Structure 1
Amino acid sequence: MSMDRNTQGSVTAPRIRIVEIDAFEREVNLRLPFRFGAATLEKAPQAFLRVRVENEEGKTAIGAAAEMMVPKWFDKNPALTPAQNVDQLRGSIRTAAAASLEASAPTTLFAAARLNEMETVRRLPGNPLAAGFGPSLIARAALDAYCRLAGISFFDAVRQNLVGIGGPMLPGDIDADGASAVLAGLRPAGSISARHTIGLLDPITEGEIIDPVDDGLPQSLEAVIARYGNRWFKIKLSGTVDADIDRLARIAAVLDRLPDYQVTVDGNEQFDAAEQLGALLAQIEAMPRLARLRAAITFVEQPFARAITMETPLGDLAAQLPFLIDESDDSDGAFAHARRLGYTGVSSKTCKGIYRSLLKAIRIKTGTVPGLFLSGEDLTCQAGLSVQQDLALVSLLGLSHAERNGHHYVAGMQAAPQAERARFAAAHADLYEQGADGPFLSIRDGRITIGSLGAIGYASGALPDFEAMEPLSVG
């Protein structure tokens, strides 16, 4: 395989061309309504991409990626309906695919992904988070295809920097040799802690369940802990202080039964000002029955709307707790800007781009600012390609826990044909356990075992049944 020597550092990486992109979707119905911020999700389509890459010898292979098209996260504009939000994401896929196929010169996977993201954001101005959705899927599927072509795992491709992080597409604040050294030092773990999401509509105790879902899976927080043994939790806040305090007290009453636990709290852009969030934190501090929960808070995620986040210094709040940006992390320079406001953390989400996550990790590991951190966050990653590729990424980044919520709100691989479910269950017996209706994510003692994600390809020993899907809707 011919190699391309990048112009920065000594990194060498193969050059490929993306020669074919097919996009599909499947409707996914949630077993429980998931409320985050002002939105309540009951169903959404999952996008699937099939990408064929060609190396310089003319050999080809296909790879795949998947992601839920979740309304009211990428764009919370109240003027847009959920259906319009989903069409936004479909438009990002179509625009990114067209731009990607126009690129005729072979290049590294990293350069191809960066160029595609830049061009798609240019063609779809106004919301870089939504525009980046399509490029993120193409980048994952192309990497999967390259790994299958080369007969290597995702872990090997990244650690050996065969993805080509370097060259003229590398941001100027990152040294190519330093980047390669960081990548070479990454070591995926055999398991990772699942941080359970407590959505705004989720029952806390069994006694609170009004509409039972009789599918054998847990519904209340109590039942989740009994079944999965979680010790990490993510609590969604509403931004209404009295309601949040009442709910936090009910959550604490359950969590305090555990010998130890850790939580993160997610404002989901629902707080209008630092003073409003400060009032909530002051009430938490003043309540003895919230003392253990307050001590367990690891960080606060994205409290303010992205429209004001980058103009709202945290001030004294930053001295109380670490803060992380998520929705406001929509460009290369976002984290650096947020740091000047008092933030020290930034999210890793495959829907925002695997190379974006890797660059963040490189910056944190090679920088001189202490206390900066990366956290794995979920966007209802579904069983199959989506959750596997995200788990592989956060594990390689060295994260000890990651938010996982897709398994709680969706019953396994319910949207897939039985044969597809069987293929994934057989290829990843450590990751899934068999339920009455197919494989479910296996969480034991609060941890997910992920050794099988080192398979050839990007974290999947199986591919989905594309023929059983609908072509991506034209909206």
Structure 2
Amino acid sequence: MTMDRSTGGSVTAPRMKIIEIDAFERDTSLRLPFRFGAATLERAPQAFLRVRVEDEEGRSAVGGAAEMMVPKWFDKNPAFTPAQNVDQLRASIRVAAAASLEPSPPMTLFTAARVNEMETVSRLPANPLAAGFGPSLIARAALDAYCRLASISVFDAVRRNLIGIGGHLLPGDIDADAASATLAGLRPAGSISARHTIGLLDPITEGDIVHPVDDDLPQSLEAVIAHYGNHWFKIKLSGVLDADIDRLTRIAAVLDRVPDYRVTVDGNEQFGAAEQLGALLARVEATPRLARLRAAIAFVEQPFSRAITMETPLGNLAAQLPFLIDESDDGDDAFARARRLGYTGVSSKTCKGIYRSLVKAIRIKTGSVPGLFLSGEDLTCQAGLAVQQDLALVSLLGLSHVERNGHHYVAGMQGAPQAERLRFAVAHPDLYEWVDEGPLLAIRGGRIAIGSLGTVGYASGVLPDFDAMEPLS
């Protein structure tokens, strides 16, 4: 195989071409409504990509990727309906696929992903976060295909830098040799803590349940803790002071029964100014029943709208708690700009690009700024390719916990044929437990066992049944 040494230092990486892309979707209905910020999600389609890559010797292989097309996260503009939001994501897939298939020389996986993202964003400039959705899926599916072609795991591909991180598309503040050394030192774990999301409509106690769900899965926060044993939690805020304090107090009454729990707090862009958030934190400090919850806060996520975040310094809030950007992380320079405002954290999400996450980790590990951190955040990742590929990424990044919410709001591999469900359950017996609905994500003692993700391919021993899906609408 011809090797590309353009990535710098001693790094060598194979050059590939993407020769086929097929896009599909499956409709997904939630067992519970999920309210985050001003949006309530009850159903959404999940996108699936099948990508074929070819090496310079003419050998080819197929890989896959999947992600929920969630409305009102990538674009919260109230002028757009949820259906229009989903169409934005479909458009990103179509544009990214067309750009990927245009004639070009073979490239390393990293270079191909970067070029595709830049080209797609240039063609869909209105919202870089939404535009990056399609390129992120293609990059994952292409990596999966390469790993299957080379008969290696994604962990081997990344640690040996066969993905080709380096060259002129690597941000200028990162040394290529240091990047390769950082990747070589990554050590995926055999399990990871699941950080349970507490949505704004979620019942806190069994007595809060108004509309019981007809299944055996937990519905209230009390039942979640009893069933899964979580000790990490993510609390969504509404931005309405009295309502948030009342809800936090009710949540704290349940969490305070859990030994050594930790929480993150997600503002979901609901605060209009630093003073508004400061008033909430002051009330939290002044409420005795919230003392233990306040001590358990690890960081606050994206409190302000992306429209004002980069013009809103945190000021003295940054001295009270660590702060993280999520929705505002829409480009290479976003974290650097946010750091000047007082932020020290940034999210990892597969929907924003696996190479983005890896580059962030390299920058944090090799940089000279202390206290910076990366956190794994969910976008309702579903059982199968989506949750497996995200879990593999955050484990490789060395994160000890990750927000997981897809299993709580959707029961199992919805829409998949029984044979497909069985294949995934057999291929990953540590990750799933089998119930009447099929394979469900297994969380025991608050942790997810992920040893089987080290299989050949990108974290999946099998591929979904693409022929049983609908073409992308």
With the shorter chain as reference, the TM-score category is over 0.9
Deviates more, 1:100-109 or 1:121-130: 100-109
Q: Residues 330-409 of structure 1 correspond to what in structure 2 (within 5 A)?
A: 330-409=330-409
Aligned to 1:76: 76
Q: Spell out, residue by residue over 1:286-315, the C-alpha distance to the aligned partner (whole angstroms, 9 max, x if none).
A: 011000000000000000000000000000
CA separation of 1:197 and 1:7: change in aligned 2, threshold 3 A:
closer
Whether the aligned pair in 1 keeps the contact of 2:455 and 2:461 (CA below 8 Å) is: yes
What is the alpha-carbon distance in structure 1 between the residues aligned to residue 269 and residue 259 of structure 2? 32
Q: How does 1:164-243 map to 2 (within 5 A)?
A: 164-243=164-243
Whole-Å separation in 2 of the counterparts to 1:237 and 1:359:
30
Which residue is equivalent to 2:316?
Answer: 316
Q: Deviations over 1:246-276 (max 9, x none)?
A: 0000000000011210000000000000000
- How has the CA–CA distance of structure 1 residues 77 and 438 changed in structure 2, closer, same or farther, with 3 Å as cutoff? same
Q: Which moved more, 1:169-178 or 1:266-275?
A: 169-178
In 1, Cα distance between the equivalents of 2:212 and 2:91?
37
Kept in 2: contact 1:49–1:66 (CA 8 A): yes
1:36-435 equivalences in 2 (<5 Å): 36-435=36-435
Aligned partner letter, 2:233: F
Q: Is the contact made by 1:35 and 1:41 (CA closer than 8 Å) also made in structure 2? A: yes
Change (3 A) 1:228 1:385: same
Q: After TM superposition, where is structure 1 displaced by more than 4 Å over at least 4 residues in a row?
A: none
- Letter of the 1:229 counterpart: G
The residue number in structure 1 matching 2:443 is 443
Mapped contact 1:433–1:442 kept (Cα < 8 A): yes
Counterparts of 1:292 and 1:233, CA distance in 2: 14
* Contact 2:198 2:221 (C-alpha < 8 Å) held by counterparts: yes
- Alpha-carbon deviation of 1:126? 1.4
Alignment deviations for residues 165-224 of structure 1 (CA, whole Å, 9 cap, x no partner): 011211111100000000000000000000000000000000000000021000000000
Report the residue type matching 2:292 in the other structure: R
For the Cα contact (< 8 Å) 1:8–1:168, is it kept in 2? no
The runs of 5 or more residues in structure 2 that have no matched partner are none
State how far apart, in whole Å, the 1-side matches of 2:444 and 2:88 are.
37
Aligned-partner Cα distance in 2 for 1:12–1:411: 43
Secondary structure of the 1:52 match is: strand
Aligned to 1:32: 32
CA distance in structure 2 between the aligned counterparts of 1:402 and 1:219, rounded to whole angstroms? 20
Distance 2:420 2:92 in 1: 27
SS of residue matched to 1:263: strand
SS in 1 for 2:425: helix
- Structure 1 436/102 Cα, relative in aligned 2: closer, same or farther at 3 Å? same
Structure-2 change in CA distance of 1:436 and 1:123 (3 Å): same
**CA offsets 1:374-417 (integer angstroms, 9 cap, x no match):** 00000000000000000000000000000000000000112211
- Measure, in 2, the Cα distance between the counterparts of 1:362 and 1:259: 34
Give me the whole-angstrom Cα distance separating, in 1, the residues matched to 2:7 and 2:141. 26
CA distance in 2, matches of 1:471, 1:12: 37
Query: Are the equivalent residues in 2 in contact too, given 1:153–1:456 (CA < 8 A)?
Result: yes
Change in Cα spacing, 1:47 to 1:7, as seen in structure 2 (3 Å) is closer
Q: Is the 8 A contact 2:323 2:343 kept in 1?
A: yes
> Over aligned residue pairs, what C-alpha RMSD do you find?
0.5
> How many corresponding residue pairs?
473
- Counterparts of 1:252 and 1:352, CA distance in 2: 32
- Residue 6 of structure 1 deviates from its aligned partner by 1.6
User: What is the letter of the counterpart of residue 82 of structure 1?
Assistant: P
Deviations, residues 107-156 of structure 1 (Å, cap 9, x unaligned)? 10000000000000000011100000000000000000000000000000
Q: What displacement does 1:7 show? A: 4.9
Decide whether the 8 Å contact of 1:96 with 1:116 is kept in 2. Answer: yes
Q: Secondary structure at the match of 1:216?
A: coil
Q: Give me the identity figure in percent.
A: 84
Aligned-pair distance for 1:437? 1.4
Q: Label 1:103 to 1:268 Cα distance change in 2 as closer, same or farther (>3 A).
A: farther
- Give secondary structure in 1 for the equivalent of 2:315: coil
TM-score, with normalisation over the residues of structure 1? 0.99
Which whole-Å CA distance do the structure 1 matches of 2:242 and 2:194 have between them? 29
Q: What TM-score does the superposition give when structure 2 sets the normalisation length?
A: 1.00
The answer to whether the 8 A contact 2:192-2:448 is kept is yes
Aligned to 1:102, what secondary structure does the other structure show? coil
Which residue type is aligned with residue 100 of structure 1? Answer: S
8 Å Cα contact 2:191-2:448 kept in structure 1: yes
Q: Name which of structure 1's ranges 164-173 and 227-236 shifts more when overlaid on structure 2.
A: 164-173
- 2 CA distance for matches of 1:256 and 1:18? 52
* Separation in 2, partners of 1:345, 1:193: 19
Following superposition, the deviation at residue 103 of structure 1 comes to: 4.0
User: In the aligned structure 2, how far is the partner of 1:7 from the partner of 1:193?
Assistant: 35
What SS does structure 2 have at the residue aligned with 1:316?
helix
Tell me if the contact between 2:15 and 2:106 (Cα under 8 Å) persists in the aligned partners.
Answer: yes
What is the distance in 1 between the residues matched to 2:5 and 2:314? Answer: 44
